Amino acid sequence: MDNYGYFDDKNKEYVVTDPKTPIKWTNYVGTLNFGGLMDCTGGALICKQDPALNRMTKYIAQMPQSDFKGSTIYLRVKSAAGTTVFSPFLTPTLKPLDSFECRVGLSYSRWVVEAYGIRAKITAFVPQSAEVLLQDIQITNISGEPLSVDVIPVYEFSHFDALKQLVNADWVPQTMTVKAHKETTGHVILEQYAFMKRDVAVNYVTCDRAVDSFDGDRRQFLGDNEFGSWANPLSLANEHLSNSECDRGDNIAALMIKLGNLQANETQRTITQLGQSTTVTSARPSIDKYRDHKAVDAALTELADFWSNYLETMVVDTPDEAMNSMLNIHNPRQCHTTKNWSRYLSLYQLGYGARGIGFRDSSQDLIGVMSHMPEEAREFLERLLSVQNPDGSAMHQYFPLTMEANEGDSREEEHMPKYYGDDHLWAVLACAQYIKETGNVDFLDKEIPFYSKTLPPKERELGTVYEHLKRALAFTFNNVGQHKLPLLGFADWNDTVNLPAGAESLFVANLFGTAIKELVNITEFINDNATTDLLNHYHQTMKQRVNDTAWDGDWWVRYYTAEGEPIGSHKNTYGSIYTNGQSWPVMSGFSEGERRTQSLQSVYDKLNTQYGIKLSGPGYNGYDDNLGGVSTYPPGAKENGGIFLHSNPWVMIAETIEGNGDRAFEYYNQINPAFHNDNMKVFESEPYCYPQNILGDEHKQFGMGRNAWLSGTASWTYVAGTQYILGIRPTINGLIVDPCIPKDWPSFSVTRKFRGATYEIHVKNPNKRNKGVTVLSLNGERIEGTLIPIQPSGTHTITVTL
């Protein structure tokens, strides 16, 4: 099958029309504070604050698509012809459906399904101001004759310590408990907890109606010592569930909700709740609130209003509909998701505690949401800076419940450096983006502690944000190897190249140069001449070192080993050229003139494919302990010659700096997941969000996408598309309009909200140019250059001619 659904931009949804997608396709509901992911067949992985330390539902990502996955709904339909039990999600009963839609919305999923004489409309979401997953279930009789319908929602619980659920089959079941709270009204609340959490954090499941019966013990629900199955729970052959509680064992929450006899075209509605609170008593206000249908409707409206306001920050209208769809809806939504979840919980990063909130990852994610939610991004940035070390380097990741930080994978290699060469520098870019967006230079004066493993937070060294940023730059400048280039540490952005200690990274050198440029704009604005001079010295010195040592003839070297041997050079049989080695020297300003042009052309000639730019090539063909993780993949996979999408927008940005709008847009189109919607035999991944990687042309499955949602591709492609191709980017002094577009675009327009004002920007391209503003007017008055000064509140009209 070439596609499994379509884009509905009017409703800001992607509509899945066939539940049998090539792989599990997912959506996110709620946030890390409370929420998780739901797949298109109703499976749910829900947690509160930390998926490793406070997981609620048991979703095993590696299980087949057809299996039960933490959550489902059964419908039992009785007619004159007999009784049918099926799931509107298809799984786990696998009974055929007449029609199926899963509408992947903005923080909600909605199923509209017809089968066995009924239409089921199910909307799952987490309200903006609550910590509960709601499922709004509406059942309509479309059979033309009376039907009796029962709704049986089921959740399976995980131990709160997610990894222990998988590795300790003695202790975990001994601690797990489900107790029923029966109300005089017939309502039931099923309370679930691991024993040690009984008095501090309990899960609960309830609904808005009186409940016929329930089960809390999986063994009882499935029946016959669990020789009944999720596809055919034997308990559903009985009129009632067994009202089982559970003092130990596998905990579930199953409710039998009898809607009664539905006449032709009659609709009945019921709403389930899955939440967590200190106690059931403390949850009562929320439980009572969301048993009211009006409150549920209001919560869904509030969620829609949030997204409407969020997306109104920037609205584009270009000649390319796929670009419009991504930049107006799906790309900013994915940026919001990565901001919330970093790389912590997806079907690929499984949230069992091996990986928390990444310093490098989240610093980049914040750049993608800064125009839409700057103050929330600032709060997140403060948490990141609190795990920066006093020497200026940074811990690689932290856990949000405890704020405990660690050095990442470098802990596993005793002989390797215990820091990543790039982590700390990304915070400079994120901080600069915040100040450019808001103008709030006072943020530089806020004091934030540096991290210490041995000292409690109140005893840790304090430093202003400004001091944190300056120490980050000083650390890189002072920790250099034999070419006086920055040391790699355990790794740089490319986690999989783990060279022995003493190796140097050209990526870190160029990220360092880019970070300096960003901070200099701020130091000049606040008239800190001494720091400006120091940073300019850093930049000029590193630029000279890079140009003196790293040019390989047609492209830039990527690394030097401790022995001084180049990697990413024509001298190398494998890995002779790296994409990031060519894009970042342009962004840093270290690559200019013929070298800039030639290095970007080498990317196009040697690394570009129809599905995107490969990270490097040729792929290493065998494991090499001196290279590390990159050689654990076969050629064409992931970092070993695969199309690692995160690196593609950096080349787009570099090409706009070069002035080549046609090529920048070609690169943008190649990785736009919307373009793959009719190519699912090859691509397989969700077409509504960027995956992390696509298999490269050295691999037999060239074009296959994997690892959707949590990727820095989202943030940087949004930046590349809006700030560099469309050219609308903030500065500390105002808004720049400097597009670099395809020559054949006659015009485009953008509405951009910036510092309390709204800018209606109209760009015309009568001369078929890529780049170069010839006329710019503000409210009818011509101004020189490309900078629109800060304007008062209200709407302002900008017209631009290229």
Q: Catalytic residues, which ones?
A: 495
| Closest by CA position to 503, among listed 431, 598, 567 | 567
- Find the helix or strand (DSSP H, E) in which 377 lies: helix 374-385
Asked if residue 216 lies in contact with residue 246, where contact means CB atoms within 8 angstroms, the answer is yes
φ, ψ of residue 800 to 5 degrees: the values are: -135, 135
- For CA atoms 517, 522, 526, 530, give the dihedral sign: negative
CA distance 634 to 319: 39
CB burial readout 150-170, b (16+ within 10 A) else e: bbbbbbbbbbbbbbbbeeeee
Asked if residue 698 lies in contact with residue 635, where contact means CB atoms within 8 angstroms, the answer is yes
Spatial neighbors of 587 by CB under 8 A, at least 6 apart, are: 510, 514, 650, 653, 654, 657
Asked if residue 547 lies in contact with residue 589, where contact means CB atoms within 8 angstroms, the answer is no
Query: For 127, what's the count of Cα atoms within 13 Å in the CB-facing half-sphere?
Result: 20
Q: Which amino acid is at 685?
A: S
Q: How far is CA 710 from CA 336, 679, 715, in A?
A: 10, 22, 10
| Closest by CA position to 197, among listed 102, 56, 61, 67 | 56
Q: Which amino acid is at 673?
A: P
| Closest by CA position to 357, among listed 390, 387, 331, 332 | 387
Alpha helices in 622-673 (DSSP H): 648-658, 661-671
CA distance 730 to 547: 30
Alpha helices in 410-495 (DSSP H): 423-438, 465-478
Asked if residue 706 lies in contact with residue 685, where contact means CB atoms within 8 angstroms, the answer is yes
CA distance 119 to 763: 47
Q: How far is CA 63 from CA 47, 73, 233, 251, 496, in A?
A: 19, 19, 19, 19, 27
Q: What is the DSSP string of 709-730?
A: SS-HHHHHHHHIIIIIIS-EEE
Asked if residue 652 lies in contact with residue 667, where contact means CB atoms within 8 angstroms, the answer is yes
Q: Measure CA of the first residue to CA of the last residue in the chain; give whole Å.
A: 43
Q: What is the DSSP string of 324-374?
A: HHIIIIIHHHHHHHHHHHTTSSSSSS--SSS--EEHHHHHHHHHHHTTT-H
Length of the chain: 802
CA distance 449 to 564: 37
φ, ψ of residue 726 to 5 degrees: the values are: -75, -25
CA distance 724 to 59: 40
Q: Which amino acid is at 126?
A: V
SS3 of 112, please? strand
Structure tokens at 558: 């990527």
Structure tokens at 373: 């939610």
